[in-house]
Chains A and B, each alone.
Chain A
């Protein structure tokens, strides 16, 4: 079955600390992988995506993610978190070769302490 698992429901970090949000997927074919961020009451903003090529992907707002096929993982990282990064983060997977529907993980809520 196709699925996305985000093991951490809530994460709290101090401002300036590093961050890693975990994402594991189960997908039958080569996946397209995405990370989105959602602020309260808002839609989703794409942080980064991986289709192919370099497995370390750079995104907006200083985020990066690494695709590890052997571990079926696509973890999101940021070296230094800002208070404005507090939000909900969703990992998603879709079919390769252009895509139709996305399957989303349950999300990780990030809180940032000053």
Chain B
């Protein structure tokens, strides 16, 4: 089946620094990748949609200058949290969409970000 990986699985950073999270589709090409944020014991909230080679589309209320998304290839999308603050601490999950895979999204295992 289609596999999506995320790296790192956990990261701790200091307030004011930036951190990059990678999302890779390992065995298929993903024309579209999605980034979600999940607070403890809550649902997933879509942050942005990224299409390969074009700018990401951000959901209302998501700061595009703070959450930089780059979808440089059909197998890699990155989310960079810039000037991180403790309130950015969360579980970030990516998913990749492939029509080859039956018209569904495949989810990565998530990245736990803790900002101290």
Where the two chains meet, the residues of A that have a C-beta atom closer than 8 Å to any C-beta of B are 34, 36, 41-46, 49, 51, 90, 98-107, 109
Contact = CB atoms under 8 A, between A and B. Distances in A.
Report which residue of A34, A90, A100 has the largest number of chain B beta carbons within 10 angstroms of its beta carbon: A100
B18 interface: no
B107 interface: yes
Given A43-B107, A43-B108, A43-B110, A106 B42 contact: yes
Contacts of A34: 104
B108 to A, nearest CB: 5
A42 B43 contact: no
Contacts of A104: 43-45
Interface string B72-116: 000000000000000000010101010100011101111010000
Contact of B107 (A45, A98, A105): A45
Nearest to A90: B43
B29 to A, nearest CB: 16
A73 B60 CA distance: 27
A44 B32 contact: no
B25 interface: no
B42 A102 contact: no
B110 A101 contact: no
Contacts of B105: 102
Interface in B22-58: 32, 34, 41-46, 49
Contacts of B46: 101-103
Contacts of A100: 32, 49
Contact of B112 (A41, A46, A101, A105): A41
B104 A49 contact: yes
A51 B49 CA distance: 22
A44 B92 CA distance: 12
A105 B103 contact: no
A43 B93 contact: yes
16 contacts: A41-B91, A41-B110, A41-B112, A42-B109, A42-B110, A44-B95, A49-B104, A51-B103, A90-B43, A98-B99, A98-B103, A99-B103, A104-B44, A106-B43, A107-B42, A109-B41
